[in-house]
Every structure is written in C-alpha cells, then in structure tokens.
Structure 1
Amino acid sequence: MRKILTVAGAALLMLSGSAMAQTVDPNRAAQADPEGAFQSWLQTFRTRALQEGISPATLDRELSNLELSERTIELDRRQPDVGPGRSLYSDYIARRLTQPRIDGGVRLYPQVAPTLEKAEAEYGVPGEIVLAIWGMETSYGAVTGNFDVVRSLASLAFDGRREALFTKELVAALKIIDANDASRSRMTGSWAGAMGNSQFLPTSYLTYAVDFDGDGHPNIWGSESDTIASIANYLKQNGWQRGGEWAIPVNVPQSLNREAVRNPTPPTKCVAVMEKHSRWMPISEWKKLGVAAEEGRTLPSDDTLATLLEVDGEGTGAHLTFQNYRALLDYNCSNFYALSVGQLADEIAARTQ
C-alpha cells in the first residue's frame, strides 16, 4: 500500500480493511466532460447533505465554485489495494526510524510533558506512544499536507472508486465546518482527506477529536493539547489497555511448529496484515514452546494473551504482540507502521525518562 509512510500513504492505510473491500469503479472522471458531470454530481450530493442536517448556507458557500481535482483522482488511482512487490521491515524502519525523527520527539517531550501526563491520566496511553504517532504521521506537525480536504473528498466521491466511503467523509467534513469547529481554509491535509497533526479523516475527527485546551473547539491543526488528547482518545476508544505492553521482541526456537499456532479463524478486517499473526495464546503457552524475550526485555504475566508476529516471514524479527498492538493497527492498518510507532516510542522513552 505504501513505500515510505507519507501523509498520503497514512491516509490510505487508515481507509484500509473492510472499507477497501467496498471498491467499485465507474470511473466517472474519465467521461468526456468530467467537470460538467462533477457539477451535476454536486447537486445530487447537496440533497443528501441537507438530509444529513448540514445548513443550506454552509452548502451554498462551500460547494459553489468547487472544481474537480483531477490531481487527487490521479493520485488515488496510482495506489494499488495490495502492493505488487515485497518490501522488508528492515528497509522500512531504516527510512522511518531516523535520528531526526527520534531527536524531534525527544526535544518536544519536555515542552508538552504536562499535557502528556494529563492525557495519560485520563486515557491511559503513555505519552511516548502519543508522540510517536504524531511523529510518524506528520513529523510532529511539520508535514500535514496542503490539499483542500473538501475538494479532494468531493472529487474522490464523484470519481466513484470508493464512492460510499468518500461521500461519508465529505459529509463529515462539511459537518465540521457547519459546527464552526474549523474553516475550510484550515482543513488542509493529504489528498485522501487526512487532516492535521493527527491525520484524522473527518469521520475520525467527529468521533475522537478532543477539546483539551478548553477553547470550545477540538483543534488538531494548531493545538498541541488537542492533538495529544485526540490521539490518546483514539487509541483508548479502539482498545488501548492502561499499563499494558504493545509488543515484546522475542527469540523463537527452530523447533517451533508454526502450523500448530496458526490462527484457525480467517481475519475479516485488515486481512493481509492480520494473516501474519498467530492465534492468541497466553504467555505461559508461549514459554512452553520455547519462545523467550530478547535480552533486556521481560515478558508480562503468564496469563497475558499474545500473538506471534514474524513480520517478514519465518525466521525474521519476531514479536509477541498484545491488545495494545491492535489499537495501533486501528490507527493505521500496517504491521510496519505499528512496529515503527512502538519502536519510536521506546527510543523517546529511553531518552526522556
């Protein structure tokens, strides 16, 4: 799905899983008069938006003079649902876990430490995990994307490859504007609609964004406090367990029978990613099979459930992953992403605590 985790790539992976299975491809943008067809589509969409409760004034203002973004559609159609080539985590992490990214998190940590502590107290997510997501998504706000989110979402919904998905996101974006939580000019982001420091899609903003600084509006674009709390709330609402591990690097004996620990239930969400995970087993069972934490690491209690992940296949870097790892996958459906967030968090914690 992505080669280097760009802002655009992050957006697509947040759209992956079951939503990707809804793909249809009428390719409306290939019509003889795509702009004219787009304007007709906007009129039809306006009827739905009114039914969703968006005010006529907002729709008149934001949809008038809205032009089709052929660039957005071009970028979307360059993205295969499944990458044609095999990439290795070792190559990926070398590009992502860079010294500037680690240093950026270390520098930012003391500046926002009180907010991180407050957010951890409320949501249970460690500050270094929150910073690591912020760092991986947008380099701590340095690279958030400059596409007009409303225009991009309207163009993608019109094009039709994933019409239901992007129409829903467009409605959510207009609801944000209608509620005066953000102006359209503020709502810039990736070509796929991910916005702000946290790279939330509009529906995620409506569900998870938090007004943590008390100014009346969740601001994931310009407020460090709101960004931190919104990321933490996202993880909590998607299963993050207070005080739990995310993953532990382990050594796997050559004698391990992978077929015996294979997950017998085919995944229905995040399929290609979850197929790399074993079935859930308690730590006590993994120990009996000879799986042991790498030197300097400690496994949690024997009753803790874990899956085995060998990210690049049998005999490659192995981890036992826990419930909190699944919360990271909910943020972005990629084993590479989840592992890189956890490793960046570990690097930040080692240098700040």
Structure 2
Amino acid sequence: MIARSLIAALSLLAVPAFAQEAPPPDSDQPTTAAEAPTAPAQPSEEEKAATAFRAFVTGLRPQALAAGVNPQTFDREVSDLTFDPRVIRADRGQPGGGATSPATPSISINFAPYRRTHVEPVRIGRGRSRYAGLRPQLSAIEAKTGVPESIMLAIYGHETGYGTFTGNYDILRSFATLAYEGRRRALFTTEFIDTLKLIDRGFPRSLLKGSWAGATGYPQFLPSVWLRLAVDGDGDGKADIWRSEPDALASIGNYLSNAGWKPNVPWGVPVVVPSSFDRTGIASPLTSPRCPRVHVRLSRWLTMAEWRAKGLMIAGAPVPADTEMATLIEPDGPGQTAYLLTTNYQAILDYNCSNFYALSVGLLADEVMRPAD
C-alpha cells in the first residue's frame, strides 16, 4: 500500500551522490573511463515520496479555494507541510485500521475494567473541584441548552482530563497525511480544508494541535464540528475551544443539544436483571447505519414501565419517568449490573460512538454530582 511504502521511504537516510570532477575543456589529456562525466544522480526513494506528497497537497488548492479558503492562507500553510509517518502508524494501530487487521477485530465485552480506569477517584475528585469553579458558566449553559452541567463536565473530563491534555500533533499535517494515504481521503481532505478555514478565522496553526486523528481543543472537536457547532461562551465574540473553558463547555452543550438531548431526562439508570429474566424477544430489530457493532449490544426500546413489568429492579437514581423509552444493556454480561438507557444516551453516543465511553460519561456525571463521603 502507498502508506506503507511511503513510511519506508521516508525512514531512509538520503546518501548524497558527488560527481567526479571532469578535466578542463582545453586539456590534451585523454579522458579515461574513471574520469568520464557521470550521469545526474537519480532522486532517492525519500525524495520521490516527498515530491509525490507535495504534489498531492498542492493539488488540493483549487478545491480549497472553491470552499472559500484564502489563497494566501493556503500557499503559506502548505509551504512547509511534510508527511507524518507517526500518524499512519497510529491509524493502522486502531481496530480494523490496517490491511493486516482481521475483518472483525476482537473487542472486550466487559465494561468493568474500563470503568475502573475512567470513573476512578482522581477523575471524580478533580471533577467535583472543577465543578465548584465552573458552576456559574455551567449553570448558564444548562439553562440555555437543557444539557445537565454534570454531563458537560464529564465529557470535558473524559476528553482532555478537564483540559490537562489536548494533544500535540499539528492537525493540518495530520489531515494532509491521512488524506494522502487515501483510505478515507474524502473525509480527511474535508477536515484539511476546514482546518485552513479555522486559520482564516484567526486561529493560528500553532494553536491547532490535537490528537493524531485531528481532534482538537478542550472538547476534542474535528474542524468540521467546530464550524457547525462551536459557540462563544464567554462573550468575546470568538468560539475559542483551545483557550476558553466557557467556550469549550458551551460548545459541548450545543453539540449535545443538536444531537437531540431532552431536558430533564436522565441519561439512564443502573438496574438489576433477575436471574429468571427471559431475553427472548428483546433483541433490537434495527440495524444502525453508524457504528452498528456498538448499537448491536443495545436491546429493543420499551417504556420504563414495561421494563419494570418484566421484573427489572431499579438500582440507582435519578430514575426516568415510566413513560420514557429505554433500551437495555448488560455490559458485563448476565448477573452483573445492567443499565436502562434513555434517548439522551444516544446523544452521548453521537459525541463518541462507544458504549464504554457513553456509560462512563453518564456514571462520572452522577459521581461528580454525588456529595463526597
């Protein structure tokens, strides 16, 4: 594949070739084979790879300008872009990411180990501390969006440790690399162009750092998400999710609201499933077009009252109303704590399509709001 050959080429050390000095033109000395002029040195594999990458990036200029990017911005920012092999290695390391990955990579079916490392005392304690300091902003955002303060804070905590780590990759370089590699060229070309739009909006490239995949800022938005949903939370006229916590939290709230968050409805609640529970007929008849392997672990939708009638016992709080629709997940298998999840859980999945992520966000939110012992 092109990415693999490119990584190999860029890892080679270029060895300069020095031409032999030719005799002066008026010399009457015979020219020996050793003294004959040598042919021009051929480009190394590294040089060929760099040239191909640069040709691809510069070839995006018409598309970027058609999308509204300033020509000067494009020319300036791509002038020093180089391929980043670290990005491709990281991408290939993801489940299903590489040519040698199995068609159906194995995934852990047990949530408990993930919960222990993501809803742990340090993160809970730091969340309670940050909640105390951010309460005025969070309260205002909840009043506007209907998204609970604790949910916004829990996402902030999961994404960047409440702003303590946001990534150090140059996301413009990452997107150029991923687009060139070609496996998801359309997606990453769009994000590359949208990053240039951010620069046109006044955010310097030096600020636009993030994960290898281009998630950036306190909420870890892709540039396209920033363009759609980032909002100004501190009233300075800019949605600066890299340096302003009010902007970042307001943008998280706006994202979840846009994803369909219903005010005054819990995300879900722990339940105990009786040993005699008949699971026949509760499988969902639907196939999700987005991350189907995540949604396949969720049951069909019934009202909370219908689940109770089937013998499920509530084991936590707050409890959704009897009329709320809910889906069941048993993330650690039968006999362990299960959860009834409302449509607001789906909004968290929209933010990051992982059951473990969404469950841990909800549980961390509950713990942050629970009084300390």
**TM-score normalized by the length of structure 2:** 0.84
> Counterparts of 2:107 and 2:285 in 1: how far apart (Å)?
27
Q: Which residue in 1 is equivalent to 2:125?
A: 103
Range with bigger deviation, 262-271 or 84-93: 84-93
Range with bigger deviation, 265-274 or 85-94: 85-94
1:143 is aligned to 2:118: no
Alpha-carbon contact 2:230-2:239 (below 8 Å) kept: yes
Paired AA for residue 38 in structure 1? F
> Counterparts of 1:301 and 1:107 in 2: how far apart (Å)?
31
> Counterparts of 2:317 and 2:131 in 1: how far apart (Å)?
24
What is the 5 A alignment of 1:25-64?
27-28=2-3, 30-31=5-6, 32=45, 33-64=48-79
Compute the displacement of 1:316 (Å).
3.1
RMSD: 1.5
Paired AA for residue 151 in structure 1? R
Larger relative contact order (CA 8 Å, sep ≥ 6): 1
Paired AA for residue 337 in structure 2? G
Alpha-carbon contact 2:266-2:318 (below 8 Å) kept: no
What is the 5 A alignment of 1:1-353?
27-28=2-3, 30-31=5-6, 32=45, 33-81=48-96, 83-86=105-108, 88-180=110-202, 182-294=203-315, 296-297=316-317, 299-351=319-371
> Counterparts of 2:301 and 2:106 in 1: how far apart (Å)?
29
Compute the displacement of 1:38 (Å).
0.7
Is the alpha carbon distance of 1:115 and 1:203 closer, same or farther for their aligned partners in structure 2, counting shifts above 3 Å? same
SS across alignment from 1:265: coil
- Deviation track 1:35-66 (CA, whole Å, cap 9, x = no partner) reads 22110101211121111111101101111111
Paired AA for residue 178 in structure 2? L
SS across alignment from 1:158: helix
SS across alignment from 2:328: strand
How many residue pairs align between the two structures? 325
> Counterparts of 2:371 and 2:243 in 1: how far apart (Å)?
26
Is the alpha carbon distance of 1:192 and 1:102 closer, same or farther for their aligned partners in structure 2, counting shifts above 3 Å? same
- Stretches of structure 1 that go unaligned for 5 or more consecutive residues are 1-25
- Stretches of structure 2 that go unaligned for 5 or more consecutive residues are 7-44, 97-103
> Counterparts of 2:275 and 2:112 in 1: how far apart (Å)?
21
Compute the displacement of 1:204 (Å).
0.9
Alpha-carbon contact 1:267-1:274 (below 8 Å) kept: yes
> Counterparts of 1:115 and 1:266 in 2: how far apart (Å)?
39
Alpha-carbon contact 1:283-1:299 (below 8 Å) kept: no
Range with bigger deviation, 94-103 or 317-326: 94-103
